[in-house]
Amino acid sequence: MRFKNLDLNLLVALDTLIRVRNVSRAADEMFITQSAMSNALGRLRDYFDDPLLIQVGRTMELSPLAASLEPSLRDIIVRIEAAIVSTPSFAPEEATRTISLIVSDYTLSTVMPTFLQLVTKQAPKLRIEFKPQQNVPHLLLERGEADLLIAPTVFSSPNHPSEVLYQEPICCVVASDGPFKGARLTEQEFLSAGHIVMQPPNGGESFALRICDQLGLRIRVEVASYSFGSLPLLVRHSARIALVQQSLVKTMLDLGGVRIMEPPVVMPALEQSMQWHSYRTRDPALTWIREQVRAAANLVHGPGADVGSGAPALPGGHAST
């Protein structure tokens, strides 16, 4: 099919080339030969009278025109994919499609095991793919590279629908054999001790670090890890402190060596939400998946766990969980 003398099949090739910026990888993704993809790029260059992709050393960079086309083209492709993938009805027991969710390792360790049990029992042929979060995680939704995002509300996009799942406290984790006594840390102990923090490998900051910054608590970071789940383990047999989501710590208390203490000040609760692309709101499969996420969160945290109660959630912004 052609529109204004452009073969519309070339739009898919252009979208892929812009995303991966590599002819060979684009060809592999589209299941065509490298020569066929090179031919498609040549035809696109002729049509737009622009190089589109420019070789710079060993990498390819977008031309200004290609960069300007990227968001609109991706939006078109996502619309088409949403229309094709979505079906009028959804039968869990027969479904074979792949559902991708963007989650942190915290969510992967707490809510997702229960979610997976619920899904497997009802939809055994469904394939679930978990993807790691990144700085500004909702971008993967907008690019159509994931179906659902589960992240702190402050990192969600205002441009797509979302639903609050629960709130939970952030607590201090210390070594059982460490120097800290009692149930609550003093502010002096909190600020003078070294801290172990989660530092996203692709930029941004964790929710806990943002809390400290907004409360004016200048902690001394001595160890940074890319994993939430490692924080309680790294605290053991040390004099350091880690700020960790309460439910994650509870899954590790049986391993021994750590205990929970109250922070020296009231900290905003972590408000966790799930978000999906506005084009996918009426997709019955994703509606069903959201129901399973909601049910899993209720089983793990209790129905509507602390939503709308307790310490206020942190103001919005752009970062990674």
Residues in the chain: 321
Q: What is the mean pLDDT of the chain?
A: 86
Asked if 163 and 175 sit in the same domain, the reply is no
Residue 58 sits in the same domain as residue 192: no
Reported as a single tens digit per residue, the pLDDT across 274-315 is: 999 887 888 899 999 999 999 999 999 987 554 443 344 444
Residue 198 buriedness (CB in 10 A; 0-12 / 13-18 / 19+):
buried
Is 92 part of any domain?
Answer: no
For the chain, give me the number of helices (H) and strands (E)?
A: 12, 14
Give the per-residue pLDDT at 56: 86
Where a domain ends, among 36, 57, 85? Answer: 85
Asked if 15 and 9 count as a contact pair (C-beta separation under 8 A), the reply is: no
302's tokens:
């209790």
* Cα of 287 vs its chain's centroid, Å: 19
Position 313 in a domain: no
Residue 159 has pLDDT above 70, yes or no: yes
Please choose, from the candidates 219, 220, 227, 221, the residue with its C-alpha nearest in 3D space to the C-alpha of residue 201.
227
Residues 159 and 277 placed together within one structural domain of the fold: yes
Q: Are residues 251 and 174 in the same domain?
A: yes
Do 234 and 121 lie in one domain? The reply is no
Report if residue 309 sits inside a domain: no
DSSP state letters, 249-275: HHTTGGG-SEEEEB-SS--PPEEEEEE
Q: What is the mean pLDDT of residues 63-86?
A: 77
112 and 156 both lie in a single domain? yes
Q: How far apart are CA 8 and CA 6, in angstroms?
A: 6
Assigned domain for 319 exists: no
C-alpha closest to that of 249 among 223, 229, 225: 229
Domain end residue (candidates: 243, 261, 279)? 261
Residues 54, 183: one domain? no
Q: Are 240 and 193 in contact (CB under 8 A)?
A: yes
Q: Into how many domains does the chain fold?
A: 3
Q: Tell me, yes or no, whether 277 lies in a domain.
A: yes
Q: Is a pLDDT exceeding 60 seen at residue 166?
A: yes
CB atoms within 10 A of CB 124: 12
Amino acid at 298: N
Residue environment code for 268-291, b if the CB has 16+ CB neighbours within 10 A, otherwise e: bbbbbbbbbbebbeebebbebbbe
Which pLDDT score, from 0 to 100, does residue 249 have? 92
Q: Are 252 and 294 in the same domain?
A: no
| Local confidence band at 144 (pLDDT 50, 70, 90 cut-offs) | confident
Read off the pLDDT of each residue in 255-266 and give the average, rounded to a whole number.
Answer: 94
The reply to whether 61 falls in a domain is yes
Q: Please tell me the predicted confidence (pLDDT) of residue 307.
A: 47
Contact 243, 211 (CB under 8 A): yes
pLDDT band at 171 (very low <50, low <70, confident <90, very high): very high
Q: What is the CATH number of the domain that holds 210?
A: 3.40.190.10
* CATH number, position 10: 1.10.10.10
Tens of pLDDT, residue by residue over 6-58, are 776 788 888 889 888 999 998 888 889 989 989 989 989 988 899 999 988 88
Q: Which of 31, 57, 85 delimits the end of a domain?
A: 85
This prediction's pTM:
0.71
Both structure tokens of 272: 């966790």
Domain that holds residue 278: 98-167+270-301
Are 198 and 119 in the same domain?
A: no
**CB distance 148 to 224 below 8 Å:** no
**Residue of 79, 87, 17 lying closest to 48 (CA atoms):** 17
**191 found inside a domain:** yes
Instruction: Taking each helix axis as running N to C, give the angle between helix 23-30 and helix 34-48, from 0 to 180 degrees, rounded to the nearest 10.
Output: 110
Q: pLDDT exceeding 70 applies to what percent of the chain?
A: 88
Residue 109 lies in a domain: yes
Q: Are 187 and 253 contained in the same domain?
A: yes
**Do 107 and 41 belong together in one domain?**
no
Q: What is the pLDDT of residue 318?
A: 38
Distance CA 21, CA 231 (A): 36
pLDDT of 86: 60
Rounded CA separation 299/113 (Å):
11
Q: Are residues 103 and 139 in the same domain?
A: yes
